[in-house]
Structure 1
Amino acid sequence: MFGNERSMLRRVVPVAGFISRRLRAVRQVHGDGDGVGEERLHFHKSKGQHILINPRILDTIVRKSAINPTDTVLEIGPGTGNLTLKLLEAAHKVVAFEIDHRMVQVLEKRALKQGLNDKLRVIQKDAMKVLFPRFDLVVANIPYQISSPLVIKLVYGPRPFRSATLLLQKEFARRLLANPGDSEFSRLSVNVKLLADVELVMNVSKRDFLPSPKVDSSVVIIRPKPQVPNVDLREWRAFTSNCFNNRYKTLGSIFKNKRKVFELLKISNENDKASSHKGDDAEDEGGFTSFKEKIIGVLRTGEFEDKRPAKLSIEELLHLLSLFNQAGIYFANHGHLKREDRFDADD
């Protein structure tokens, strides 16, 4: 009996010690006597509410962001403000999007207590549904479930910015960093790298969050390229969608598919007035056959027929798209798409 009790104590004490260390870390970030510590709030994991509580990592994020005293920083999902307060100290202004009113109350109270409230603007709206105000930098621990659409909104959006320092799920960050031939190389990789460079800053353990997520995270910096390729972004986005939906298949297999040929024939007829395939040719067997031969001809001319999208560089993909367009083969309906249209969540 006593032996069992001692065994139970050995199992309980380390857990209690771990919890106490967690709370000490929370109070270290908040400051003693703050009265608004994260331990008093219930966080919703389903909404991606994982608060970073490691002061060393918070400091590193701010330092690596290279914030100027004149900068306006955009933050998405500030939570209770652990990162926000450090950003307020470094920047001219912080614009924070937070939809949880409980977090907004804590954030504003903490900013007021530190005398920084005049530099903070909180927008209680869904960041994915509004046009961002002007900003210089993005620094954020963003909810994992909006990582892909948010990154694309930033990179392809109308607002210019110097850099975006983002704390992301590690697996997602690896997709941003991936190169052709890597297992993580995807449509997301190629679309972001067309317009921006991505740098890994550091990896972050799941134990540095409250509550702890199931996976580790990474901090990356995204910097828009000063010079970008002269390509129609609507075409590029639709083209990469066609390629990377089956990224391990050969391009010949992808574009010889009967349904794909009909789809591209219809789009091309609508967009290319100079095309020899007009009107109702999409339903005409002769028009279909000649259009398919044109697709095959482009692939063979560029020696792409047996290549796979997952192994092609951005330059090679740009070249292939150019060959298609020169042949009157298009991927986007230009009358319905806009440059700022958001990618699907699985991009």
Structure 2
Amino acid sequence: MPPDHRHGAKGPSRGPRPQQGHVARKRFGQHFLSDDGVIDDIVRAINPRPGQALVEIGPGLGAMTNPVVDRSERLTVVELDRDLAARLRKRPELTVVESDVLKVDFGALAQAAGQKLRIIGNLPYNISTPILFHLLPWADQVEDQHFMLQKEVVDRMVASPGSKDYGRLSVMLQWRYDMENVVDVPPEAFDPPPKVDSAVVRMVPWPEVAAIDSDRLGELVATAFSQRRKILRHTLGAWIEKQGLVTDFDLQRRAEEVPVAEYVALARLSPSPT
């Protein structure tokens, strides 16, 4: 287990480590967090408390599970790996959902808990974006989300208009969440180390959002960013015409120059009567 390079020393050992009876499986994108200093930083950022409806996606060997349960007393975990799920079921303080996270109804979990969910997890990098989009429909039943992701994905999530990282993912998440990068995580904090830097993002759903067809917004934004180098007249212009929209939306810009609010306003427009 590598030391925490910022704290200069390892903290107390927590829970089983990857070498203790479980080998990381590439098909599940498994990289197990093993740096106690980094784990402490993440748990402090989450700040779990008793009585909250906490759900962890992909608990793995319990690196985050253990310190979170120490503070929260109860935790629901979603785990696809049957061997790990069997291990986790032996712990009475955990409720185990053995499933592909993309098939989990988070609205049903919130209903069962009788309160909004706090969702956490070290997301598999190979399906992190699909998981984020899967969770979108339940944003109004979520208090907050803290996820460890590939740092370049977090950079795209929190990017501002005009930056090279601002794109489809930025728009599709920022219309629904206030987001910030709260912890940077180096490769050596994992076993086995991934080939990329990681970061933890905090996602807090906006308390009030305009009613919108998210599929329509997604189609609009995908069209806008389909040819980033071209001005929108060549891409979004045709979409607006096809939709029969009358708008003063400025098409003389590139997609990355348009604020989220303008994309949302355009998606909410109804076709003008003929």
Partner of 1:39: 19
Cα deviation 1:14-53 (Å, max 9, x = unaligned): xxxxx7879x9799233xxxxx531132212342100001
- Native 8 Å contact 1:95 1:122 kept in 2: yes
- Native 8 Å contact 1:74 1:139 kept in 2: yes
SS at match of 1:320: helix
SS at match of 1:245: helix
Q: Is 1:81 aligned to residue 26 of structure 2? A: no
CA distance in 1: counterparts of 2:186 and 2:88, whole angstroms: 24
Cα deviation 1:197-242 (Å, max 9, x = unaligned): 0011111010000011111100110000011124333322222222
CA distance in 2: counterparts of 1:190 and 1:21, whole angstroms: 37
The correspondence for 1:185, drawn from 157, 161, 166, is 166
Cα deviation 1:52-83 (Å, max 9, x = unaligned): 01112212222211222111211111111121
Q: Structure 1-normalised TM-score?
A: 0.68
Cα deviation 1:221-274 (Å, max 9, x = unaligned): 0000011124333322222222122233212101455xx68xx74xx5xxxxxx
CA distance in 2: counterparts of 1:328 and 1:83, whole angstroms: 55
CA distance in 2: counterparts of 1:322 and 1:98, whole angstroms: 37
Aligned-pair distance for 1:142? Answer: 1.1
CA distance in 2: counterparts of 1:231 and 1:124, whole angstroms: 33
Q: Is 1:95 aligned to residue 76 of structure 2? A: yes
Partner of 1:249: 230
- Native 8 Å contact 1:80 1:104 kept in 2: no
Aligned-pair distance for 1:104? Answer: 2.2
The correspondence for 2:102, drawn from 124, 128, 133, is 128
Aligned-pair distance for 1:108? Answer: 4.0
Gaps of 5+ in 2: 111-115
- Native 8 Å contact 2:183 2:201 kept in 1: yes
Q: Percent identity?
A: 28
- Native 8 Å contact 2:14 2:66 kept in 1: no
Partner of 1:273: none
Distance 1:316 1:103, change over 3 A: same
Show structure 1 runs of 4+ deviating over 4 A: 19-22, 24-27
Aligned-pair distance for 1:107? Answer: 3.3
Larger helix fraction of residues: 1
Distance 1:252 1:21, change over 3 A: closer
- Native 8 Å contact 1:164 1:221 kept in 2: yes
The correspondence for 1:140, drawn from 105, 121, 130, is 121
CA distance in 2: counterparts of 1:221 and 1:98, whole angstroms: 21
- Native 8 Å contact 2:236 2:251 kept in 1: no
Greater mean alpha carbon deviation, residues 160-169 or residues 60-69 = 60-69
Q: Is 1:162 aligned to residue 143 of structure 2? A: yes
Q: Structure 2-normalised TM-score?
A: 0.85
CA distance in 2: counterparts of 1:66 and 1:168, whole angstroms: 19
- Native 8 Å contact 2:149 2:200 kept in 1: yes
- Native 8 Å contact 1:170 1:216 kept in 2: yes
Q: Is 1:67 aligned to residue 13 of structure 2? A: no
Larger strand fraction of residues: 2
Distance 1:319 1:256, change over 3 A: closer
CA distance in 2: counterparts of 1:21 and 1:240, whole angstroms: 43
Distance 1:101 1:201, change over 3 A: same
**Matched residue type, 1:305:** L
Q: Is 1:104 aligned to residue 85 of structure 2? A: yes
- Native 8 Å contact 1:196 1:225 kept in 2: yes
The correspondence for 1:316, drawn from 251, 262, 273, is 262
CA distance in 1: counterparts of 2:229 and 2:45, whole angstroms: 36
Distance 1:25 1:210, change over 3 A: farther
May I ask how many residue pairs the two structures share in their alignment?
A: 262
SS at match of 1:198: strand
Aligned-pair distance for 1:143? Answer: 0.7
SS at match of 1:189: helix
SS at match of 1:147: helix
Q: Is 1:28 aligned to residue 13 of structure 2? A: yes
